[in-house]
Amino acid sequence: MALFTWNDSYSVKVELCDAQHKKLFVIINNLADAMRMGRGQDVVTATVGELPQYTRTHFQQEEALLRTANYPQLASHQEQHRRFIADVEALERDSSAGQAANSIKVLNLLRDWLLNHIQKTDKQYSAHLNAAGIR
């Protein structure tokens, strides 16, 4: 059973961003499902390994769209991205150093990002990008 199910309330009305956000749903739900089955520690290492590439790719592409549309809040949006990448990189460093990631901590980080950044901050750029012809 999915912890989060995609629906239009999550859409930022930009196809590329929505597709990438849907991938985050898969990552979150895979971890949550594994935790429910008592296999959270098995899956959290793979999750932590997947996050750096996912976040860098998504943020670079999203920020490129924001630059193209001359989004006035780009700098503050990028700062939020930098902070999240720092959190992800800290998890990755700990994992590389042999420290097992805490599946609850990772799930909460991702859940908070989904609810607070995507649902709030990302939604703010929808109309601006759409007005610039980016859908």
What total of structural domains would you count in the chain? Answer: 1
**Structural domain harbouring 47:** 14-131
How would DSSP label each residue in 71-119? -TTHHHHHHHHHHHHHHHHHHHHHHHTTPPPPHHHHHHHHHHIIIIIII
User: CATH no. for residue 45?
Assistant: 1.20.120.50
Over range 105-117, report the average pLDDT: 95
Question: Is this prediction's pTM over 0.75?
Answer: yes
- Please tell me the predicted confidence (pLDDT) of residue 103: 93
pLDDT in tens, 29-88: 999 999 999 999 889 999 999 999 999 999 999 999 999 999 999 999 999 999 999 999
Residue 95 pLDDT > 90, yes or no?
A: no
Question: Is residue 114 in some structural domain?
Answer: yes
Question: Is residue 60 in some structural domain?
Answer: yes
Question: Is residue 127 in some structural domain?
Answer: yes
Question: Is residue 18 in some structural domain?
Answer: yes
Question: Is residue 8 in some structural domain?
Answer: no
